[in-house]
Amino acid sequence: MAHTWSNWSKTISSTPTDVATPWTIEALETTVDEAIAQCRRLKAVGSGHSFTSIAAANDIQLDLSNYTGIVTFDQHAGRVTLRSGTRLWQIAQLLAGSGWAMENLGDINQQSIAGAISTGTHGTGVRFGALASQVIGLEFITGTGQRLTVSEDQDPEVLDALRVSLGAFGIVTTVTLQLVPEYDLRTVEAPAPLDEVLDNWQAFNDQHDHFEVFWFGHDQNVQTKSSQRLPVQDRSPSPLQRAQNWVTDELVSNGGLALISQLGRRYRRLLPALNRYATRAWGSSDVTAHWSSAFATPRRVRFNEMEYALPFETIPDVVRELRALFCRKNLGSTFPLEIRSAAPDTAWLATNHSQPTGYIAVHQYFQQDFREYFAQIEPILRAAGGRPHWGKLHTLAAADFPALYPKWQQMLDLREQYDPQRIFANSYVTRVLGA
Ligand SMILES: Cc1cc2nc3c(=O)[nH]c(=O)nc-3n(C[C@H](O)[C@H](O)[C@H](O)COP(=O)(O)OP(=O)(O)OC[C@H]3O[C@@H](n4cnc5c(N)ncnc54)[C@H](O)[C@@H]3O)c2cc1C
């Protein structure tokens, strides 16, 4: 019976002709070799957490959820090689007790390591790159069946081409990460006036290892989240900390958000009041936790998302322009905009390629149409030189990207070399990279 796959937000689905779920490298290689020999299309899927159809397979779906775990771990140098389907939460478990940690993470940990790096998944912090910045080696099978072992020491250019590669160049079989000594994160959440944050955007980011802002477009206040890295302490969370975590993660982020989203969907005129209420309900908290549990929060209320990477210094002006738009058009969503940052990266298709980067993300409840809302905001993000997140919704196509990515032509040449038969293409890949 045909199996229908859908992504996390339930807006993308596909019905692959066949599904391969290899447990071993031999089975994985056989799947790829047979697909090439039979001129089939093959699409790897991680955990299906992209909002675009980037992972949708119409012919063979390569489901890597069983292809997980550590291949090698150099405990002295803090270098771990993982099978490509390993989930981020599994990595934290696998590293437990080793004294090592991932350098930075985004706001969930459900993604596979290969899926996360392939779309340029990032967290926040002006001194830290995206997840792909932690990658120092890859093993890879191209669309001609070639096995590549690429490392930063021997092939830095090829590694830069493949670290963020949209699943369009071949199948990543292993990912080697450079780890850092484990750490705790002290995270303070507090409301602040929007203008104060925008006036001091650089300083807020410089002062904290990780800084992010949640802002409902109708509100003059924002919620800030600032984290500092600390040496690991030997302790478990106090009852007060556990209670604070529960209030923030469950009551406000999930339970409250679900209720507000339902209300906002039915009674649109209530949005400004609901937004102000949500910012106030968020309140303040001060929690210290081990890195393995500090970054990610549960996301039980489904949504769709668009996110653009912008030159870091443009963020205050762009947010002010968005504020004027929200006011003029009475725009709104029950989800806040999320504003983050990242250090530059040399990966060819990294959204933070070669520039300190600020990110602006907009979300819409999954039961509401996102198109009209995103369509009002996207031109402002594009006009500021924005690059869309590869795994999140946007309307750009192949002709738009050469102006945004200096290595675009080299990337197309490499794609021609690695996937001349377009084994790894699907409708999204063809739209953004061309036929
Ligand atoms: C609730 C939620 C929160 C999110 N938070 C963040 C965030 O904080 N920061 C951020 O930047 N993004 C975030 N995202 C987006 C998400 O991180 C990316 O879309 C990511 O790519 C999803 O990883 P995945 O394992 O689900 O990959 P999938 O969506 O399954 O696949 C993504 C791409 O990777 C390719 N791929 C997967 N495995 C392989 C392989 N072995 N070889 C070659 N190609 C492969 C697929 O073919 C596809 O092209 C979030 C998404 C959701 C739903």
Listing DSSP states for 61-72 in one string gives EEE-TTS-SEEE
CA of 329 to the centre of ligand 1 (A): 32
Cβ-contact 109, 87 below 8 angstroms: yes
- Beta strands 42-45 and 60-63 are parallel
Q: How far apart (Å, rounded) are the C-alpha atoms in residues 88 and 68? A: 11
Torsions phi, psi for 204 (to 5 deg) = -55, -40
CB under 8 A, 24+ apart: contacts of 245-249 = 245/287, 245/289, 247/283, 247/285, 248/189, 248/282, 248/285, 248/297, 249/297, 249/298
136: exposed, middle or buried (Cβ count in 10 Å: 0-12, 13-18, 19+):
buried
316: Cα within 13 Å, side-chain hemisphere: 13
Cβ-contact 160, 347 below 8 angstroms: yes
Q: Whose CA is nearest to atom 27 of ligand 1?
A: 115
* Residue among 10, 19, 118, 164 whose CB has most ligand 1 atoms within 8 A, to mutate: 118
Quick: pLDDT tens for 199-258.
999 999 999 999 999 999 989 999 999 999 999 987 666 666 666 665 666 656 666 667
Q: Which residues line ligand 1 (CB under 6 A)?
A: 8, 43-50, 54-55, 64, 84, 106-108, 111-112, 114-116, 118-119, 121-122, 166-167, 171-172, 299, 389, 391
Cβ-contact 48, 73 below 8 angstroms: no
Q: Evaluate whether residue 307 is within a structural domain.
A: yes
Cβ-contact 393, 322 below 8 angstroms: no
Q: Which atom of ligand 1 is nearest to the CA of 428?
A: 49
Cβ-contact 54, 390 below 8 angstroms: yes
Nearest to 225 by CA among 322, 336, 327: 336
CA of 49 to the centre of ligand 1 (A): 5
CA of 94 to the centre of ligand 1 (A): 20
Please give the structure tokens belonging to residue 326: 């929200």
Q: Evaluate whether residue 243 is within a structural domain.
A: yes
Quick: pLDDT tens for 250-268.
656 666 667 776 676 666 7
Beta bridge partners of 159: none
Q: How far apart (Å, rounded) are the C-alpha atoms in residues 73 and 81? A: 6
Q: Which atom of ligand 1 is nearest to the CA of 429?
A: 49
Q: How far apart (Å, rounded) are the C-alpha atoms in residues 49 and 131? A: 15
DSSP H/E element including 432: helix 427-433
Q: Evaluate whether residue 200 is within a structural domain.
A: yes
pLDDT, residue 393, reads: 98
Please tell me the total count of domains within the chain. 1
Cβ-contact 14, 50 below 8 angstroms: no
Structural domain boundaries, residue 210 = 184-388
CA of 237 to the centre of ligand 1 (A): 30
| Local confidence pLDDT in tens for the 435 residues of the chain | 678 999 999 999 999 999 999 999 999 999 999 999 999 999 999 999 999 999 999 999 999 999 999 999 999 999 999 999 999 999 999 999 999 999 999 999 999 999 999 999 999 999 999 999 999 999 999 999 999 999 999 999 999 999 999 999 999 999 999 999 999 999 999 999 999 999 999 999 999 999 999 999 989 999 999 999 999 987 666 666 666 665 666 656 666 667 776 676 666 767 777 776 666 677 799 999 999 999 998 888 999 999 999 999 999 999 999 999 999 998 878 899 999 999 999 999 999 999 999 999 999 999 899 999 999 999 999 999 999 999 999 999 999 999 999 999 999 999 999 999 999 999 999 999 999
Nearest to 156 by CA among 348, 342, 343, 416: 348
- Beta strands 170-178 and 79-83 are antiparallel
**DSSP conformation class of 47:** S
Q: Evaluate whether residue 79 is within a structural domain.
A: no
Cβ-contact 304, 10 below 8 angstroms: no
pLDDT, residue 280, reads: 67
Q: Evaluate whether residue 304 is within a structural domain.
A: yes
Q: How far apart (Å, rounded) are the C-alpha atoms in residues 81 and 91? A: 11
Q: What's the CA angle centered on 23, arms 21 and 29, to 5 degrees?
A: 80
Q: Whose CA is nearest to atom 49 of ligand 1?
A: 167
CA of 166 to the centre of ligand 1 (A): 9
Sequence-ordered list of residues with C-beta below 8 angstroms from that of 172, at least 6 positions apart, any chain: 44, 84, 114, 117, 118, 138, 139, 140, 162, 165
Q: Which atom of ligand 1 is nearest to the CA of 166?
A: 49
Segments in 23-146 forming alpha helices (H): 25-37, 88-95, 113-118
Please give the structure tokens belonging to residue 123: 């967290």
**DSSP conformation class of 303:** E
CA of 314 to the centre of ligand 1 (A): 26
* Residue among 8, 45, 82, 105 whose CB has most ligand 1 atoms within 8 A, to mutate: 45
The CATH number of the domain holding residue 258 is: 3.40.462.10
pLDDT, residue 254, reads: 64
Nearest to 285 by CA among 203, 226, 215, 222: 226
pLDDT, residue 48, reads: 98
Q: Evaluate whether residue 355 is within a structural domain.
A: yes
Q: Whose CA is nearest to atom 36 of ligand 1?
A: 115
- Beta strands 303-311 and 357-365 are antiparallel
